[in-house]
């Protein structure tokens, strides 16, 4: 008798979603592999993707395993691309979600021969041109004209997954041949908030840097020629928003805002918090030194990749630079450039903890140098028009005087550079970082002396830090003398000190500040002599420390007599 179809089947130990069953079927290692039917793939992309499950399956496969099932992975990739190009309903969105997870996992493996192995896994050498051209073309079309911002954002995420995962391979040439810049900029223009702009702008930064020293990168040219000011301002607002988020990661580890006096804080301090207005505030988490150091080492977060794109736009585009410095804050928000200055101060205080933090610090300092080297922008930064409130890092001693409220932007930049000098003194000195910091200070002081601009600033801290750097270089000369490019740093230090002595009357606020500088120099006379002899600075001809400081001293003394006469 034929068994009834209504016979109860044994209950499985665990129910498995249908899409996960399809994942396992699509990636199953089979000796006699046969392509899946059209109906299989139609169902595959109609079901909502389970990205964690797909990621778990792919993480369990090593590079060799993926190469062993390359027929399966090629078919999955080709079918996903086909659904991007001719999708109906929700299939294109599901294909993008699947591709994002699939490509992130596949490209994250360590292959013996990255370019050829990844090509074999995704398309095969015979079909890679056709498949990847269709793939990049589909991403371009969806990013430009997708039916919704959410769908277009998913296309950007997939492009970013490929760009970041295959950066050291030849696959990115397909993104160079098919220019995505117009599509990505149109998405940024249509974006409804700064959070949506982070990923497309980061994508442009990565593409603009791909082999840029080996050929004329078209994305670099696009950045230089871009003149849509409204879109530029949206990018700058997103940059400021990202800088605030990155800074908050440092603050979450150690809150460095000095608490002001309030009635509530006073009552809490003496044990009467119960009667304080608003009740007792929740206690702040305080980490021990080792834990905090470990947490700082992992910072900044992944969002810091946007800083590369900001550097490229600053380097290539004058209109971007002008808007970056001048764009005002939206109501109730922090000015983007102030957030950028603030983040740089936190990076500088922890630059020594990891190579990654060091590189991002160099990147931001190079942006400041580019801005300061522009006479128009330097004038703006040193004028009252640039006044802005800037939160600077105070997570490590020594502290500079706390400035509350708005200040001229150049003084905040100088504080960042001084903090960088004070907090990174080590035997294995980061010469590039110090050259950038001292060079930026030299350019600001040069402009101020030429334009006779006087800014309210704690100049005694400025000169104390400069002379402390000279003392440090004397003490550890054996470790520093043979470092690469140390001569450039020495020139900057000597030139900055000589300029301050010779032209201090033009930018210092009054005779008292000028006298304080001369007193410090006289007090450290022996240190300067040792500095000259240790690094053979007397042999530098017209650029010798003897020549420069002697001229500066004579000019300073004559200026001092004129100043005293006026007094």
In this predicted model, what pLDDT tens digit does every residue of 473-488 receive, in sequence order? 999 999 999 999 999 9
Q: Are residues 190 and 167 in the same domain?
A: no
Q: How many structural domains compose the chain?
A: 3
Residues whose CB is less than 8 angstroms from the CB of residue 235 and which lie 6 or more positions away in sequence, other chains included: 188, 197, 201, 313, 320
Give dist(CA 249, CA 353) in Å, integer.
15
Q: Are residues 226 and 87 in the same domain?
A: no
Could you tell me if residue 6 is inside a domain? no
Q: Are residues 522 and 479 in the same domain?
A: yes
Ranking 269-278, 350-359, 459-468, 507-516 by mean pLDDT, the lowest is 269-278
Could you tell me if residue 392 is inside a domain? yes
Q: Are residues 367 and 484 in the same domain?
A: no
Q: Are residues 429 and 355 in the same domain?
A: no
Could you tell me if residue 10 is inside a domain? no
Q: What is the pLDDT of residues 67-85, one digit of tens each?
A: 999 999 999 999 999 999 8
Neighbours of 17 (CB within 10 A): 12
Q: Are residues 446 and 460 in the same domain?
A: yes
Could you tell me if residue 4 is inside a domain? no
Q: Is residue 103 classed exposed, middle or buried when 0-12, 13-18 and 19+ CB atoms within 10 A define those classes? A: buried
Mean of the pLDDT values across residues 164-176?
92
Give dist(CA 204, CA 243) in Å, integer.
18
Tell whether the model's pLDDT for residue 558 goes beyond 60: no
Q: Are residues 365 and 435 in the same domain?
A: no
Phi-psi label, residue 342: left if phi above 0, alpha if psi -120 to 50, beta otherwise: alpha
Q: Are residues 434 and 448 in the same domain?
A: yes
Q: Which of 178, 210, 239 is the last residue of a domain?
A: 178
* Contact (CB, 8 A) for 481 and 536: no
DSSP 302: G
Could you report how far apart the first and last alpha carbons of the chain are, in Å? 121
Could you tell me if residue 2 is inside a domain? no
What pLDDT, on a 0 to 100 scale, did the predictor assign at position 103?
97
Could you tell me if residue 471 is inside a domain? yes
Q: Are residues 311 and 226 in the same domain?
A: yes
What pLDDT, on a 0 to 100 scale, did the predictor assign at position 260?
47
Longest CA pairwise span in the chain (Å): 124
Residue 215 domain boundaries: 183-256+287-418
Tell whether the model's pLDDT for residue 102 goes beyond 90: yes
Q: Which of 384, 418, 452 is the last residue of a domain?
A: 418
Q: Are residues 101 and 137 in the same domain?
A: yes
Q: What is the CA radius of gyration of the chain?
A: 30
Give dist(CA 417, CA 441) in Å, integer.
7
* Contact (CB, 8 A) for 561 and 511: no
What pLDDT, on a 0 to 100 scale, did the predictor assign at position 286?
83
Could you tell me if residue 449 is inside a domain? yes
What pLDDT, on a 0 to 100 scale, did the predictor assign at position 5?
58
Could you tell me if residue 281 is inside a domain? no
What pLDDT, on a 0 to 100 scale, did the predictor assign at position 538?
80
Q: What is the pLDDT of residues 46-60, one digit of tens each?
A: 999 999 999 999 999
Q: Are residues 377 and 291 in the same domain?
A: yes
Q: Which of 418, 443, 465 is the last residue of a domain?
A: 418
Q: Are residues 118 and 246 in the same domain?
A: no
* Contact (CB, 8 A) for 453 and 409: no
């Amino acid at each position: 008798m034929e068994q009834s179809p209504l016979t109860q089947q044994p209950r499985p130990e665990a129910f498995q979603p249908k899409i996960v069953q399809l994942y396992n079927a699509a990636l199953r290692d089979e000796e006699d592999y046969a392509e899946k039917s059209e109906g299989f793939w139609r169902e595959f992309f109609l079901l909502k993707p389970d990205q964690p499950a797909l990621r778990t399956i792919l993480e369990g496969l090593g590079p060799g395993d993926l190469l062993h099932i390359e027929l399966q992975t090629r078919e999955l990739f080709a079918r996903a691309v086909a659904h991007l190009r001719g999708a109906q309903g929700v299939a294109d969105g599901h294909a993008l979600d699947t591709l994002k997870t699939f490509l992130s996992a596949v490209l994250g493996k360590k292959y013996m021969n990255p370019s050829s192995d990844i090509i074999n896994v995704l398309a095969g050498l015979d079909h890679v041109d056709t498949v990847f051209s269709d793939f990049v073309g589909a991403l371009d079309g969806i990013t430009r004209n997708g039916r919704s911002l959410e769908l277009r954002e998913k296309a950007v995420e997939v492009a970013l997954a490929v760009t970041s995962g295959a950066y050291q391979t030849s696959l990115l040439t397909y993104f160079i041949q098919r220019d995505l810049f117009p599509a990505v900029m149109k998405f940024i223009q249509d974006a409804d908030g700064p959070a949506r702009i982070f990923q497309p702008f980061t994508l442009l930064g990565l593409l603009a840097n791909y082999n840029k020293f080996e050929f004329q990168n078209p994305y670099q040219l696009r950045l230089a020629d871009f003149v849509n000011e409204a879109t530029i301002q949206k990018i700058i607002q997103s940059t400021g928003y990202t800088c605030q988020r990155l800074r908050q990661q440092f603050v979450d580890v150690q809150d460095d805002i000095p608490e002001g006096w309030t009635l509530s804080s006073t009552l809490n301090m003496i044990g009467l918090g119960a009667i304080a207005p608003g009740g007792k505030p929740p206690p702040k988490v305080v980490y021990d030194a080792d834990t905090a150091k470990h947490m700082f080492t992992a910072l900044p977060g992944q969002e810091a990749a946007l800083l590369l794109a900001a550097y490229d736009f600053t380097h290539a585009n004058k209109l971007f630079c002008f808007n970056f410095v001048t764009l005002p804050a939206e109501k109730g928000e922090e000015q983007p450039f102030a957030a950028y200055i603030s983040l740089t101060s936190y990076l500088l205080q922890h630059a020594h903890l990891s190579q990654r933090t060091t590189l991002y610090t160099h990147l931001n300092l190079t942006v400041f140098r580019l801005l300061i080297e522009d006479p128009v922008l330097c004038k703006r930064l040193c004028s009252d028009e640039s006044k802005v409130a800037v939160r600077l890092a105070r997570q490590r001693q020594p502290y500079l005087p706390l400035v509350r409220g708005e200040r001229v932007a150049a003084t905040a930049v100088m504080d960042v550079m001084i903090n960088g000098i004070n907090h990174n003194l080590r035997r294995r000195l980061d010469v590039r970082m110090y050259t950038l910091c001292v060079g930026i200070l030299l350019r600001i002081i040069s402009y101020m002396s030429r334009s006779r601009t006087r800014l309210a600033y704690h100049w005694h801290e400025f000169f104390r830090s400069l002379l402390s750097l000279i003392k440090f270089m004397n003490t550890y000369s054996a470790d520093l003398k043979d470092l690469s490019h140390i001569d450039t740093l020495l020139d900057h230090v000597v030139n900055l000190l000589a300029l301050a002595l010779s032209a201090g009357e033009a930018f210092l606020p009054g005779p008292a500040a000028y006298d304080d500088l001369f007193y410090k120099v006289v007090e450290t006379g022996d240190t300067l002599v040792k500095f000259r002899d240790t690094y053979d600075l007397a042999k530098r001809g017209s650029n010798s420390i003897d020549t420069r400081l002697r001229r500066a001293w004579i000019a300073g003394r004559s200026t001092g007599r004129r100043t005293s006469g006026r007094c």
